[in-house]
Every structure is written in structure tokens, then in C-alpha cells.
Amino acid sequence: MEAKTSVKFDPYIERKAFDETQEGVKGLVDAKITEVPRIFHIPKDSLTNKKPSVSLTDLEIPIIDFASVHVDTASREAVVEKVKHAAEKWGFFQVINHGIPLNVLEEIQDGGRRFHEEDPEVKKRYFSRDFSANKFVYNSNFDLYSASPSVNWRDAFSCYMAPDPPPPEDLPVACRDAMIEYTKHVMNLGDLLFELLSEALGLKSDTLKNMDCLKSLLMLCNYYPPCPQPDLTMGISQHSDNSFLTILLQDNIGGLQILHQDSWVDVSPIPGALVINMGDFLQLITNDKFVSANHRVPANREGPRVSIASFFSSSSLPNATVYGPMKELVSEENPPKYRDITIKEYTEGYFVKGLDGTSHLSNIRI
């Protein structure tokens, strides 16, 4: 009688089987699993080189108060100076008194949670991996079929809310009104942020807006269910953002960590604050003056954790604009560090690579 051969682990088949349930990580948790499936396991070697996480007492990402930004020129310049420092040294900061009412922040979080906790049959109506055909897309791991070494412990929905938002009836009832309301406020805050960042570069306030940095907004709601074995997987792997700028609302559970001076620094939640980070395109067009920092979210026994990320980026939309280092910021002493590229070409490379812990910017460096 022939000896049984051990069944070889085929990550593609297992990822596909997980995908076909259309129930995401939430479905696994609802099924009361006690062990994390193999496709979620991070490679052993990446466990050993986990850099130390630094507690808040040692390093803290800058917190910038926007209350005085419209008071007078001197107050605004003081804010610009803080934004400049954060964008150059950290790539991240938290902003308070940003003008978005607390009830609007709470409602978008509640709406995101409501959608992810809907009956699976309701969510499946929105399940897709095709951005071009659907405005509102729900799935688990946008890079499920990429070269990423493991699957992350999270589900998400995403939707382009600008420049052409979907008709309200195309958005799920659970989060429809909240998404429309939050978008209005995020666009206003984005407008102000791009003005301050332009001024921080020593340029006219409308410089970045005139480059269409504010034109497209992709809203993404991440849902991280509690994980039975958080040491084996990640909520979201180390990555930098495929955007000009990202505005992140995290709930009180927290979990976001950013890589700073070779250490993982916790971004502790501040009630009512928003986390702002520079994306890859801002690092590209500022010729490395502003940094798009790597960040991650470890898996957690606590949960579910909900975060709302608003990306100023036209990543999946047709856009023929070619971006490279801004001519105002390059010189003989400071030549361009990147080749010119369209956002679409950059995004295709970013998606193929997946969240593998490296920055896609390194592939277009001159």
C-alpha cells in the first residue's frame, strides 16, 4: 500500500478558499476559530527582527494644535513651522482642534462598525476585487493575491468620495450618511493641510492644490477583529501609503505604530484627534524633503478595532498627470532623486508588490 504523502501547503489555494467565503476575517472570528489559519502567519524570520516598540515616554509623534491657524499671520507661521518639522522628521503628526466636530468623527466610526457587523448576506452584495466596476468595494486584504508573504488580520471597505462620489443609493445604508458628511469635513481639512504643507516648503499656499493633490479622495474603513493568536500575524503589515496625504481616524483601542529612528513608536489615541501622514507621492514630489514613513498595526486580542483612512490619491482612477520632483525644489546641488511617473503606473507596481515591508519608491529612485 502506498504511503500517504503529507499535504503540501498551497497558499494560493488557501487564500482563494478564504476569499470565496466573502466573509473575511470577521467570518473566521464568528465561526469561533481558536487558531489563526496558516495564510495569516507572518514568516518566522520577520518575527525575530521585530524592532523594539518604544513606549510613549521615550518618543512621541508631534501633536499640533490648529486652533490658532486662522487667527493671525504670526500664529499661522508658528503652525507651519510645526508642520514642517513633523513632515520632514517624522512624516506623521496628530492634529487637534482641526475643525471636524466630535459627533461627525463618532458617527463615521459607528457607521463603519455597523457595516462590518452587518449580516454577511448584506455585506456580500458589496464584495468585489474590481475597483473599476464598483464604487464601493468590500473585501479582505486588497493585496490578497499579491506577492505579500502573509494575509493581514483585517477586513475593509473602500470608496472614492471625490471628485465623483457615487450616488447615495449606491452606498450601504449602515454608513451612507456618515460617509457623505465626513467627506465634506475631510475635504476642507485636506485643503488647509495642503496649504500649510505648501507654505512649509516655502512655496505659495495653493501650490500643492494646483498639482491636483486634493482632487481625489479614497475613503477606507479598516475593521480588525480580535485575534486569538496575535503573535502569529499582523493587523496590517509594515508599509508606506500610496497617496499624497492620509488623514486617519483611529478608535480608542489604538494600535498604530510608526517606524522612527529604527524603532516602532506607538501612536496613542487622543480623543477627537486625527493622525496625518505624508504619502509616497508627497515624498516623491518634494524630492525627499517630506518623508512617507513606514507604519503598521499589530494584531490584538482586544477588538474589534475600527479605523477610517482618507487617502488623497487617485490611485485606481484614470489620471494622465505625470509627477516628479517639483522644479522649485531641485537644483544642481539637489538634483532629482526620482524619475517621473504617473500615479496609475506607481499604483500598479505598489499593488503587485503588496505590503511586503519595503517602499515602492525605491523602485523609481534614480
Q: What domains, with CATH codes, occur in the chain?
A: 62-363 (2.60.120.330)
Q: Do residues 259 and 241 lie in contact, with contact meaning Cβ atoms separated by under 8 Å?
A: no
What stretches of 144-244 show up as alpha helix (H) in DSSP? 176-200, 207-210
Q: Length of the chain in residues, anyone?
A: 366
Distance CA(223)–CA(114), nearest Å, equals 11
Q: Which three cell numbers stand for residue 311?
A: 487617502
Q: Which three cell numbers stand for residue 220?
A: 477606507
Instruction: Specify the pairing of strand 63-65 against strand 92-96.
Output: parallel
DSSP character at residue 232: G
Q: What pTM does this model have?
A: 0.93
DSSP character at residue 322: E
Percentages (nearest 5) of helix, strand, coil residues in the chain: 35, 20, 45
SS3 302: coil
Rg of the chain over Cα atoms, rounded to whole angstroms, equals 21
Tens-digit pLDDT profile for the chain (366 aa)?
444 444 566 889 999 999 999 999 999 999 999 999 999 999 876 654 556 665 545 688 999 999 999 999 999 999 999 999 999 999 999 999 999 999 999 999 999 999 999 999 999 999 999 877 788 999 999 889 887 889 999 999 999 999 999 999 999 999 999 999 999 999 999 999 999 999 999 999 999 999 999 999 999 999 999 999 999 999 999 999 999 999 999 999 999 999 998 899 999 999 999 999 999 999 999 999 999 999 999 999 998 999 999 999 877 677 788 999 999 999 999 999 999 999 989 988 888 877 777 788 989 999
Distance CA(264)–CA(304), nearest Å, equals 22
